[in-house]
Amino acid sequence: MSLSIPQSNPLANYLAHRVEIDEAIRRTLESGWYILGDEVASFENEFAEYLNVRHAVGVGSGTAALYLALRVCDVGPGDTVLTVSHTAVATVAAIELTGAAPLLVDIDPLTFTLDVERVEAAIAEYRGAIKAIIPVHIYGHPARVTDIMQLATRHGIRVIEDCAQAHGAEWMGRKIGTFGDVAAFSFYPTKNLGALGDGGAVVTNDEGLASRVRSLREYGWEQRYVSQVPGVNSRLDELQAAILRVKLRHLDNDNRRRADVARSYSAALAGHPHISLPQTSKAANHAYHQYVVRTPARDSLRAFLSAKGIGTSIHYPVPVHQQPAYAGRIGSAGELHHTEAAAREILSLPIFPELPADAVKAVADQINTWRA
Ligand SMILES: *Cc1c(COP(=O)(O)O)cnc(C)c1O
């Protein structure tokens, strides 16, 4: 019998919460108010409370959240923003949208997050030129935010956390998104907290920064129809906010189920001669947006699993600095050796809250029969 196991499954998450979501949609449709109303305001309060942060501002996407976060940190043309090349291209696209120049550094090969020693070296090399740092909590594993904050504070650099893959993740017992000056979340449908369309949020403890995001997301208005600064249109809509309010109530439980999937894979694949398993820092509570294994025979493993009906993904196959749009244009501080090696070897296995235990076992069993 052949399997059919997708790598991610936003439909399953909708179906799991269908009654509540359908009710939220109906309520919103019948309210007659579709942009920036009670649903968005309530979601913003509930999401801020969940993270234990003072302000959350709903915006149109994760990319827009990063862009607006950079804008309120006064990042613009002539500035340099340090981040990783091993990320969704959105991180770098958002930097360029502001007119600033991205400066990419390598990752720590064990956690795939920003290598803090490289950050320190880059700050020394680019003296004063680095205006902001974007650590990316990739796959749901937190970057070393406390060390990054310490470095940044000492040098007067702003920190914007890219939390698009890390809703509910924690570092030293504290939620990711509460460490930086400001943080950006995406609610793209496959994320741990996913809308049924596009959405994002900017969160911060700084009242001034939050109110600037509120203004910028709607043309730079402070008062309707009068722009104080040049802004954009990037709003979370009422329907998505109503859906996200439902999904937020289930986020911790969904994340526990992701962690169960990860634990099962790790137990079943431990000691595999050709595969390295994801590592978790002691200080981290991993949100397991992805479960990413590594093997030099990645393409062979991927084709083998595909033939068995098991979906996998590569997050991401081409590092940003090697993509045609950016190749040769973006600066890097030092070699991106670990980034380039990771792109050749990583494979994201099926993981989502509704993935049944027997499917997890079937995936692991197949991997254990594979010969590199
Ligand atoms: C998904 C993602 C984004 C972009 O979010 P969108 O909502 O798709 O714009 C940014 N950064 C990372 C790391 C992501 O995974």
pLDDT over 90 percentage in the chain: 96
How far is residue 287's CA from residue 192's CA, in Å, rounded to a whole number? 8
> Could you tell me the pLDDT band of residue 332, with boundaries at 50, 70 and 90?
confident
Residue 1 pLDDT: 58
Q: What is the pLDDT of residues 33-47, one digit of tens each?
A: 999 999 999 999 999
pLDDT in tens, 333-357: 889 999 999 999 999 999 999 999 9
What are the C-alpha distances in Å from 284 to residues 141, 288, 321?
7, 11, 28
CB 269, CB 349: distance < 8 Å: no
Q: Calculate how far, in angstroms, residue 63's C-alpha sits from the geometric centre of ligand 1.
A: 6
Select from 89, 97, 165, 288 the residue to mutate for testing ligand 1; criterion: most ligand atoms less than 8 Å from CB: 165
Give the distance (Å) from ligand 1 centre to CA of residue 321.
Answer: 17
Q: So what's the pLDDT on residue 222?
A: 92
Q: Ligand 1 atom 1: the closest Cα is on which residue? A: 164
pLDDT tens-digit series, residues 168-193 = 999 999 999 999 999 999 999 999 99
pLDDT in tens, 10-28: 999 999 999 999 999 999 9
Compute the distance from residue 324 Cα to the ligand 1 centre, in Å: 19
Q: How far is the CA of 234 from the centre of ligand 1 (A)?
A: 15
Give the binding-site residues of ligand 1, using a 6 Å CB cut-off: 61-63, 87-88, 90-91, 136, 162, 164-165, 186, 188, 198, 200
Could you tell me the pLDDT band of residue 85, with boundaries at 50, 70 and 90? very high
Task: Report d(CA 80, CA 88) in Å as an integer.
Answer: 19
Peptide bond before residue 316 is cis, with ω within 30 degrees of 0: yes
State the Cα angle at 138 between 142 and 206, rounded to 5°. 60
DSSP SS3 for 11: helix
Average pLDDT over residues 147-175: 98
pLDDT reported for residue 276: 97
Average pLDDT over residues 304-313: 98
Ligand 1 closest atom vs CA 65: 9
From 96, 163, 167, 186, the mutation candidate for ligand 1 (largest count of ligand atoms within 8 A of CB) is 186
Are residues 207 and 82 in contact, defined by beta-carbon separation less than 8 angstroms? no
User: For residue 2, how far is its CA from the centre of ligand 1 (angstroms)?
Assistant: 33
Residue 94, pLDDT > 70, answer yes
Mean pLDDT across 246-262: 98
CA separation for the pair 131, 108 (Å, rounded): 22
User: Distance, CA 118 to ligand 1 centroid (Å)?
Assistant: 24
Nearest to 202 by CA among 228, 178, 225, 224: 178
Is the confidence at residue 4, as pLDDT, over 70? yes
Query: Atom 2 in ligand 1: which residue has the minimum CA distance?
Result: 164
The predicted model gives 65-72 an average pLDDT of: 98
Dump the DSSP string for 98-125: TT-EEEEE-B-TTT-SB-HHHHHHHHHH
pLDDT digits (tens, 9 = 90+) for 233-246: 999 999 999 999 99
